[in-house]
Structure 1
Amino acid sequence: MIARTPVVTGLGVVSAAGIGAGNFWLGLQRDTPRFREVSLFPTDDLPNHVAGEIGPWTPGFDRVDADQLHAGRTATFALAALDEAIADAGIGGVRPDRVLVGTTVGDVADHEGPRREAMQAGSGRPGSLSLDESLRTRIARHVGGSVPTDLIVTACAAGNMALIRATQLIASGSANVVICGGAEAISRMAFVGFSRMRGMAQERCRPFSDERDGLLLGEGSAFLIVESAAHAAARDATVRATIAGYGLTCDAKHPAAPDPSGDGVARAMKSAIAAADPSEVAYVCAHGTGTPQNDAAEAAAYLQVFAEPRPPISSIKALIGHSLGAASAIEAVACALVIKHQQTIPQWGLDGASTSLGIRPATGGRDDAAQIDLVLNNAFAFGGNNTCVGLRRPEAALEATTT
């Protein structure tokens, strides 16, 4: 393995499917959608009422410092995922070179309640949360204060963008250890926006199904510890996955809708696996929001990139919803766990309905693959921002550089 190869050595995750990598993985293997009526804000004035909200009903909720949720829901989720990733990597005594946090609306969810209460009480608009309570500040303080901490706000592609930026820093020699991921809490602003766009389903998110009718929002956080292969080897770290490549394209087609041809997405996918043959991809973790346009465009790209027999594909948003800026970070952890367990994640939500999009829905297990060596993580955002990251089984990466 080349010394500057970026490798993943730690994983941490907070999601509606489960908190902690173990609970999360178990949740992904069960057809148990984690949607419920939103309790965080009123939805009586809207046609949509459910989301993948995290609470005491979530497996592993005791890992979250519930007493701190009032001080910032997004940051509290982030710190729980961050602590798990640091412990998993064993870098408690190592100062990271950079922290990269993907998000979409950041602390908005934490401002909304006080502002709504003040307006209802007729006392005017309250000031913003203090800088000491902000997402960026709380994370920076948590990892040591002097570590540069950046927010990446490329909407639903932000988690993948954080991972890509970490990859660039490691590969260029600008850093040896980078903490990257994403965090997002459900906000009424985002909920109202998607509801008014008529982009939300009523009760079930059904990616790639011919009966799909929209997305459902979720929340959570995930972080990955990315190191240079040399740095990880020097401290005898366990490598969860290597970064095989990444792709970035922009459709510049429409502010919100994807390019129906899928051409930009296909180019990003091809770039992420440029060092391999497409036939080596054993699983695709789809963006798969469950909206008619998004899933059709992603399927069109998938058909351009892969020939028969095509790799199995699934979207975990069927279970936990779309957590916006945190989504692809959570999905990157899912990809690393697919490699670890050598088992794909089934495409839940089809419920017997057909899919005429030409994809091969994952069914679980290895889906006929002799070994899961290479997986692809897709994430796309408003404005046509397309991001894809390839993750490879560490042993397979070592074999590729020594043969």
Structure 2
Amino acid sequence: MTRGSTTSRRTPQIIGIGAATGYGWGRDALWNGVSSGKPAGVLYGGYGRNQDEEVWLARVTEGGDPADSPSRFSRAMRGAAREAIADAHDRGWTPGRRVGLLHAVVLGDVEDWRTFYLDDGGQRRIRDYMRLLPSTPISTLMQEFGFHGPAMNVSATCSSGNVGLLTAKMWLDAGLADDVVCITTDLSLTPENVEHFVRLGAGVVDVEPLEACRPFQEGSRGFAMGEASVGMVVTKSPARGYLSIEGGSMTHDAYHVASVDPAHTEIMRCVHEALDDAGVSARDVRYLNAHGPGTAQCDAAERAILATVLAPGAPSVYSIKPLTGHCQGAAAAVEIAAAALGAEHGVVPAPPQVAPAHPQLLNGATPMVDGLIVKPSLGMGGHNSVVVLAPVG
């Protein structure tokens, strides 16, 4: 591929999707779940200080190919990638010579590390130890498909899914890869991690998800907690796409290890730059696919986006975190995958309202109309990212 060629000028598209979420294994399970308006969270035992409490979580259940690994993390990552690749082939994709791989990941395989230290006493065969390393899932997947493009992990807390997609777009725009398989995995709901997010005052696991997580509504206490692995194939090659990646941006608050900068300066700059990068006007935006964790500080930031950056009163807003749970490092990817599947079905998979709400908040699954989707993700510690997406067709 040469710079300035027809291929290099095309807009990257998402043409394949795979998923493992709290709704089950596969993109159909994700779509059927979010479009139903019913949360994926169920009660799990074995949590709390004495591991004697039941909590509401949207965990990825056991599944996948046992031959891949004893680890849920590795099985989910490979399962989501395989499903996305197969979906892309079904939609007309012919892989180029340089297929790259990006894995957006934050905490890694925490369950397997937990087993390594607590059950195995820090001793394993070298082959079994190697699977703990973040580079190993990437290498084994590249070997499975014979891909030879660039491959690496990216990490930007809850913004990682957006950052992975934007990095894929940069690789394609720069001619570093012909196609990119972009995967995001977070299966980190161990008792210790759940406890610390609850102590932080952000995670809420003691009531059903719609009672806890109410983005842009009264009475929200924080986010429900979820897990996911999502695979997406991104390419400029001709194929039947779900969504095109029109542009995006990344900034950083440089303010606090957990809190959003209340001035919202860098968040607003990120949205403006994303729209400029896409070459579109705020008036063209039809949907704000919000980060929407249901925390007061994120609600305030995204209300400010609606009020001061986008056309006042125009775009509809929604967040699927009350349904899927906050999937941490995989959150943005789950939310983009649901939007892509929604574009395919002509439906915005918004949760039902359960309390007095912002006037632009959608109330339940709604027919999709033409227009741009702006997807912000506000990662803990100040990692801001925004992707501008458009339905294909």
TM bin (shorter chain): 0.7 to 0.9
- Tell me how far 1:68 sits from its aligned partner: 5.5
Match in the other structure for 1:217: 225
Give the stretch that moved more between structures: 290-299 or 69-78: 69-78
Taking only aligned residues, the RMSD between alpha carbons, in angstroms, comes to 2.6
Calculate the TM-score normalised by the size of structure 1: 0.83
- Tell me how far 1:99 sits from its aligned partner: 0.6
Judged with a 3 Å threshold, the aligned counterparts in structure 2 of structure 1 residues 172 and 125 are, in CA distance, closer, same or farther, namely closer
Match in the other structure for 1:155: 157
1:289-328 residue pairs with structure 2 within 5 A? 289-328=293-332
Match in the other structure for 2:130: 131
Partner Cα distance (2:94, 2:188) in 1? 30
Partner Cα distance (2:202, 2:378) in 1? 15
Judged with a 3 Å threshold, the aligned counterparts in structure 2 of structure 1 residues 83 and 295 are, in CA distance, closer, same or farther, namely same
- Tell me how far 1:125 sits from its aligned partner: 4.9
Calculate the TM-score normalised by the size of structure 2: 0.85
- Tell me how far 1:70 sits from its aligned partner: 6.2
Query: Structure 2, unaligned stretches of length 5 or more?
Result: none
* Identity value in percent: 27
- Tell me how far 1:255 sits from its aligned partner: 1.1
Residue 266 of structure 2 is aligned to residue 269 of structure 1: no
Judged with a 3 Å threshold, the aligned counterparts in structure 2 of structure 1 residues 295 and 68 are, in CA distance, closer, same or farther, namely farther
C-alpha contact 2:216 2:361 (8 A) present in aligned 1? no
Query: Structure 2: which amino acid aligns with 1:364?
Result: A
Partner Cα distance (1:88, 1:96) in 2? 19
Which one of 20, 23, 48 corresponds to residue 43 of structure 1? 48
Match in the other structure for 2:361: 360
- Tell me how far 1:338 sits from its aligned partner: 2.5
Which one of 178, 192, 196 corresponds to residue 193 of structure 1? 196
Partner Cα distance (2:200, 2:271) in 1? 28
Runs of 4+ displaced beyond 6 Å = none
Query: Structure 1: which amino acid aligns with 2:200?
Result: M
Structure 2 counterpart SS, 1:182: strand
C-alpha contact 2:374 2:388 (8 A) present in aligned 1? yes
Partner Cα distance (2:269, 2:108) in 1? 29
Structure 1 counterpart SS, 2:36: coil
C-alpha contact 1:160 1:388 (8 A) present in aligned 2? yes
Partner Cα distance (2:308, 2:88) in 1? 37
Partner Cα distance (1:176, 1:392) in 2? 21
C-alpha contact 2:102 2:181 (8 A) present in aligned 1? yes
Higher strand share: 2
Which one of 207, 216, 221 corresponds to residue 215 of structure 2? 207
Judged with a 3 Å threshold, the aligned counterparts in structure 2 of structure 1 residues 210 and 126 are, in CA distance, closer, same or farther, namely farther
1:4-403 residue pairs with structure 2 within 5 A? 4=8, 5-39=11-45, 42-45=47-50, 49-55=55-61, 64-65=64-65, 67=66, 71-90=70-89, 96-117=98-119, 125-126=122-123, 130-144=129-143, 147-188=149-190, 189-201=192-204, 202-203=206-207, 204=209, 205-228=213-236, 232-233=237-238, 237-274=239-276, 275-348=279-352, 350-351=353-354, 353-355=355-357, 359-366=360-367, 371-395=369-393
Partner Cα distance (2:361, 2:137) in 1? 42
Query: Structure 1, unaligned stretches of length 5 or more?
Result: 119-123, 396-403
Partner Cα distance (2:75, 2:35) in 1? 26
Structure 2 counterpart SS, 1:14: strand
The number of equivalent residue pairs is 370
